[in-house]
Amino acid sequence: MDELPIGRRVAYWRGRRKMSQQVFADRLGKSKSWVDKVERGVRRLDKFSVVYEIADVLQVDVQLLLGKDVERRPETQNCIDQVEVEEIRAALERYDQMSAFFQAVPHSPPLAEMRKAVSHAWLTYQHAKYGVLARTLPKLLRDAQAADSAYATGSEAKEAAHLLGQVYQIASSALRKVGEHELSWLAADRSIAVSQRAGDQLLAGLASYRVGSALLALGRVRPALEVNVNIANRLAPTHEPAHKGERLSVYGMLLLNGAMAAARIGDSATVRDLLCGAEQASLELGGDYNHYWTSFGPTNVQLHRCATAVELGDGRTAVETHEKIDVVGFNAMLPERRAHHFLDIARGYTQIGNVEKASEMLLEGDRLAPSEIRCRPLAHEVLSDVLRRTRGTPPAPIAELAEQMGVGV
């Protein structure tokens, strides 16, 4: 896209942000005609102040609009920037499986190496190292696609497909964190098809969970609820001991995700039923585990009780539930999950007007996993809300965090 005129770049990013020309014009304080002329190259953008204003509205680095390489600043090293998103998109746009139908794949990494790389990527995600993950994901996607193609007809075909299915899910989760919901949906959808080839119902169930998460992020709430509940019903635990822990974990996470969707539409009865089902599964599981990278167990159910209460607008219940969470179980959870919870509880505190405690929760999350707070659009919204509600000058730590995140005080 570097060779495109600046007007075409503006049009491209406006489309990516799902803005009409009129909405974009309103946010700039310009006319729709002005925007149209800029995008068609009829009107030149010769003032840097205007270019910077456009970049701010589109939430992209100004260097991207100017067709230059983005300079990665130290404070954004742990976030996923637009350049990295485009590299991940390019990897998702590859169709190596179709190419392999016509000719052999020239190179594929050994599956033993792929296993290690995929496990490392999962841990990187669960430790909320999103910048590190973003810089490795494009190559990991290409390698996993190549492996899936190379081993498509051999005895290792299912394992190769399983690894690719996992990589798609990692990509889906990371992209959703930074607001790239359409790409997140694409990656999750890819994982469903690949997981079926892998012959693993639980991996396919977890792919459905990722699809549900992406749909929920896109505002497609009822389809998100349906996909989670439907697949959960198909994976309902049986009395067979084989893989019982893994099955309970995937089943439970589908119910929890369904509860989040039900909360989004204000269906408190369905929220209650799904949370009860997940709690029963967690009790049967007998503790907190990370089967299939789910972090499922009694503690995660409590975290979702808080999150669904926030979605229902019941901040007081969220805070009261938070105060009863088992500290030992909570501290044993991985950083991404705990920091995500602090963000949820910060929202809960703002709902009851306790800005000071909301600030504390944001700072706790930032100390634990900075990327979960600094890289997520939702965290920017919560911090903006906290700043608006703060009387007088905000405390130095929250003002410093706002400055580092680029949120106006």
How confident is the model over 17-39, as a mean pLDDT? 89
Task: Write the pLDDT tens digit of every residue in 175-214.
Answer: 999 889 999 999 999 999 999 999 999 999 999 999 999 9
pLDDT at residue 73, rounded to an integer:
46
CA quadruple 52, 58, 61, 63: dihedral sign? negative
Nearest CA to 115 among 89, 78, 147?
147
159: buried, middle or exposed (CB in 10 Å: 19+, 13-18, 0-12)?
middle
Q: Give the tokens for residue 359.
A: 């600030």
* Alpha helices, H only, 29-156: 32-39, 48-58, 62-65, 82-92, 96-102, 111-126, 130-150
Q: Is 376 left (phi over 0), alpha (psi -120 to 50) or beta?
A: beta
Q: Which residues of 57-78 are buried (b: 16+ CB within 10 A; e: fewer)?
A: bbebbbebbbeeebeeeeebeb
How confident is the model over 73-83, as a mean pLDDT? 63
Task: Write the pLDDT tens digit of every residue in 278-312.
Answer: 999 999 999 999 999 999 999 999 999 999 999 99
Nearest CA to 293 among 112, 147, 127, 140?
127
Q: Give the tokens for residue 231.
A: 């697949």
pTM for this entry: 0.80
**Distance between CA atoms of residues 336 and 355, nearest Å:** 23
Q: In Å, what is the CA distance from 24 to each residue of 2, 9, 48, 360? A: 22, 14, 18, 35
Q: What is the DSSP letter of 235?
A: T
**Distance between CA atoms of residues 373 and 238, nearest Å:** 39
Task: Write the pLDDT tens digit of every residue in 219-236.
Answer: 999 999 999 999 999 999
